[in-house]
Amino acid sequence: MDPSDQSSELFASFPPIPFTLFLPEENFSLNINPSSDTTINTSITPDQDSTNGSSQFFPFTVPKKRRRGRPQRSVTSFNFPPFPNGSFSGNNGIVSSSSSASVPVSRNSVGSSSANVPDVADEIIVINKESTSEALLALTAGFPADHLTEDEIDARVVSVIGGIEQVNYIIIRNHIIAKWRENVSNWVTKEMFIDSIPTHCHTLIDTAYNFLVSHGYINFGVAPAIKEKIPAEPSKPSVIVIGAGLAGLAAARQLMRFGFKVTVLEGRKRAGGRVYTKKMEGGNRVCAAADLGGSVLTGTLGNPLGIMARQLGYSLHKVRDKCPLYSLNGKPVDPDMDLKVETAFNHLLDKASMLRQSMGEVSVDVSLGAALETFWQAHGDAINSEEMNLFNWHLANLEYANAGLLSKLSLAFWDQDDPYDMGGDHCFLAGGNGRLVQALAENVPILFEKTVHTIRYSGHGVQVITGNQVFEGDMALCTVPLGVLKSGSIKFIPELPQRKLDGIKRLGFGLLNKVAMLFPRVFWEMDLDTFGHLSDDPSRRGEFFLFYNYATVAGGPLLIALVAGEAAHKFESMPPTDAVTRVIEILKGIYEPQGIEVPEPIQTVCTRWASDPFSLGSYSNVAVGASGDDYDILAENVGDGRLFFAGEATTRRYPATMHGAFLSGLREAANMANYANARALKLKIDRGPSKNAHSCACLLADLFREPDLEFGSFSIIFGRKNADPKSTVILRVTFNDPQKKNHEGSNSDQRHTNKLLFQQLQSHFSQQQQLHVYTLLSRQQALELREVRGGDEMRLNYLCEKLGVRLVGRKGLGPNADSVIASIRAERGNKKPSSTYLALKSGTSKMKTSSTRNAVRRAKIVRNSTRVAAAAPVSNTSNDRVLENIKQMDQDSTAALRSDQTNMTS
């Protein structure tokens, strides 16, 4: 009986989970990257639909985590929605949403004498005939086809979300990315696009180009033309980078190009962190390069490490699909049985996905292992011992992909990053990934053997302590592995926020070990890159379960055996001689029956990543109780933009990958530069308060055009990227605003009223038309204030009596407010918004944009706070205290009024 048939009846009621890639375009053959070794050529057959017109499906390969060890046998695809507000013409052009699909709108039609000529700003531009292929290319860089990313929205790249301007921005952004990908060794400039883009969109060129460069999507890497852009002398503050892994090196190079003075502290004697290529050698000049850490580039479409390999001229070797499995006795597993069990295994994973959908939130507390075990037991006596061994091999392969025990992986979120996997082949880099590390580390100031044990941070800077040395800087970037953070070996002063500590605790950090063996000659098949071996002991299923043939890329006869799951932890205490003896026994059991002699290895190396004090494990996973949100929490900076975090455990889209670590470094370099620019603006304000008073008031008025919270006469702005409840926000109270009447009636059970107090304040300023007064609060206090019932009178009483704050004019806010204002302005970008943006207003969890999330943001949304503050009783004493402050406010407020009224929103 086929196990998959038996289990299918049990879950027939679960809905299927479709993954399809939709492209609104004619049949085509697409070469994603003409200058790359990896191309996609496919034919598409249209499928007519009476409701939606024609729809076509493009099989876009996605190597799921379940297939990371053994090559994937079948193609998986995912949804690629149509382009917004427009459609693709047959020649790949984009036409206006209001136009007929057969009549493309171009800049050449602007001067038409037609009676209904649209405004030029209402047209979707046409740059060339490759808009669809450029959109797919941008997709490989992480950009959705039909909406903006969270970072683009935060940067205010367009003035209106969801309009024609956004469509044109996306087209220009994709075109710039495609232009750079044509030759990644060149430095792309804005001037290259002036002639091909209509004049009215030239501001979008600046916006898109500046965003892509500052966030590291183009013009990054180690090509000579890019290295030349690093200034000889730094012009910006000092930055300390902790850790010289891929994240730290990527950030360091980018920050150096931005003009920062960078110092990298590395505890080891080498750079690379968990990417480590060791040169192995023996007699007769036999040598090879062995990747003992990160080894496989999991997908090459858009992979920044693949781009760097192109810059350096290094070749990539595709990991071929052929992967035979061998039984305990060394005989090859029957292919039909192999396929049968693999199909059943994948079927059970699909059932687990359906199960978690039906369970809802309960699945958060269930492990993937428990679900798979339950499903497999449903087969009863339908399997024999060899099928059970095969099934355990696939479990070991899954534990390898996640570097974690299945019993500890979250059923709900273990594969939450699958939709973002890089497309394309899995590859080995010829000569090892250490060549990329070497190129990245070139001319970067790295101090080796500096073990960091304390990090102090405050609003004034950071101190990083190694031994008896203290390194001071304006900012610091911590890129140490999650295992090190979990261990507590680095002391943070002050302690990290509880939110971040909880995220560190929830996320899992697993283990993978290797045995690298250099032989005097190749005795295995050279037409394959991987082969596997079964075990009859479930607790040892991950012991040497998979072998990598590195002879094709290492420069010598090298084999690497992998140890995953529970076996990886036991391997840490296994004597190296015993480990090598066991591996040789397995190889002899496979090849000697074929008449092939297995020689003794010339040199062997056994890894111990859990025992390495600078890693304490291999890579992260989503453990039971955790979710993708925890990756975002680990990525949050602390200390008001002084201490930042990067590494594979800080990226929810690309965790547990080398490219994820690299991209996180580029991400944080952009964030650090933004905060540094904000502080530079603050310094200008502090140094010339009289000269800049008017401009600072204008800046504050502009920010309050789009407040993050607004209730009654109260409005609040804050940094959207910092969800710390203790972070500082700015509150504005508006008196005599004709557009904001207090419509909030008092509750029927309200025992006290503060109407008199509020009326007196309104009356006091009645001759001054509209007045704004301000104060600084914590984010949590702002949320509590919002929940006070009884209208503006009760909120004012709560503000002054319960919280004890003093309302002042703009000048009375002082330099602390200037820093907050500058930080918010830098975060929101330089454009004045003309549409309402969705802000993150919860103090609990920062949610990232998902592939299915609608990014059209039209209304302010505030998550419910779990804390509600009761209205405080009002006394004559409280009225007197508030009224006593009126004269003190008046002096500051009058000066602020002169600036504010000229910049007030209608």
pLDDT, averaged in runs of 10, over the chain (906 residues): 36 32 33 37 33 32 47 43 39 35 33 45 80 90 89 90 92 95 96 92 94 97 96 95 98 98 98 97 87 95 95 96 93 93 91 91 92 78 82 95 94 93 92 98 98 96 96 98 98 97 97 97 95 94 97 96 97 96 96 95 97 97 96 96 98 96 98 92 62 66 87 89 84 72 43 48 51 88 89 86 82 77 77 39 36 33 34 40 44 43 37
CA distances from 468 to 358, 453, 489, 643 (A): 56, 10, 16, 21
Is residue 794 one of the residues assigned to a domain?
yes
CA torsion, points 822, 828, 831, 832, in degrees to nearest 10? -80
Q: Which candidate, 651, 670, 646, places its Cα nearest to that of 255?
A: 670
**pLDDT, position 886:** 41
Is residue 45 one of the residues assigned to a domain?
no
**pLDDT, position 55:** 29
Of 572, 606, 640, which residue sits at a domain end? Answer: 606
Q: Which two tokens stand for residue 147?
A: 């909406």
Q: Are residues 332 and 371 in the same domain?
A: yes
Is residue 166 one of the residues assigned to a domain?
yes
Start-to-end C-alpha separation, the chain: 74
Q: How many CB atoms lie within 10 A of CB 718?
A: 26
The SS3 call for residue 473 is strand
Strand order in the sheet with 325-326: 325-326, 530-533, 543-549, 558-563, 513-518, 603-606
CB-count exposure of residue 830 (10 Å: 0-12, 13-18, 19+):
exposed
β-strands 558-563, 543-549 pairing = antiparallel
Q: Are residues 143 and 192 in the same domain?
A: yes
Q: Are residues 592 and 530 in the same domain?
A: yes
CATH number at 664 reads 3.50.50.60
Q: Are residues 645 and 555 in the same domain?
A: no
The total of structural domains in the chain comes to: 4
CATH number at 207 reads 1.10.10.10
d(C-alpha 693, C-alpha 899), whole Å:
8
Q: Are residues 371 and 487 in the same domain?
A: no
Of 625, 641, 676, which residue sits at a domain end? Answer: 676
Query: Helix/strand/coil (H, E, C) string of 132-164?
Result: HHHHHHHHHCCCCCCCCCHHHHHCCCCCCCCCH
Q: Are residues 718 and 792 in the same domain?
A: yes
d(C-alpha 883, C-alpha 134), whole Å:
63
CATH number at 363 reads 3.90.660.10
Q: Are residues 558 and 456 in the same domain?
A: no
Per the structure, the complete domain to which residue 698 belongs is given by 694-736+771-826
Q: Are residues 498 and 516 in the same domain?
A: no
**pLDDT, position 369:** 93
Q: Are residues 505 and 622 in the same domain?
A: yes
Q: Which two tokens stand for residue 492?
A: 């943070």
Q: Which two tokens stand for residue 461?
A: 């800077």
Cis ω before 118 (30° cut-off from 0): no
Is residue 120 one of the residues assigned to a domain?
no
CA distances from 60 to 80, 133, 654 (A): 10, 13, 18
Is residue 860 one of the residues assigned to a domain?
no
d(C-alpha 409, C-alpha 834), whole Å:
45
Is residue 241 one of the residues assigned to a domain?
yes
Is residue 861 one of the residues assigned to a domain?
no
State pTM to two decimals.
0.71
**pLDDT, position 645:** 98
Q: Are residues 285 and 296 in the same domain?
A: yes
Q: Are residues 414 and 487 in the same domain?
A: no
d(C-alpha 555, C-alpha 538), whole Å:
35
φ and ψ at residue 731, rounded to 5 degrees: -105, 135
Residue count (the chain): 906
The SS3 call for residue 191 is helix
Q: Which candidate, 441, 438, 442, 433, places its Cα nearest to that of 306?
A: 433
Of 785, 804, 826, which residue sits at a domain end? Answer: 826
Is residue 88 one of the residues assigned to a domain?
no
Q: Are residues 727 and 802 in the same domain?
A: yes
**pLDDT, position 27:** 33
Residue identified by tokens 């409701």 is 51
d(C-alpha 717, C-alpha 584), whole Å:
65
**pLDDT, position 197:** 92
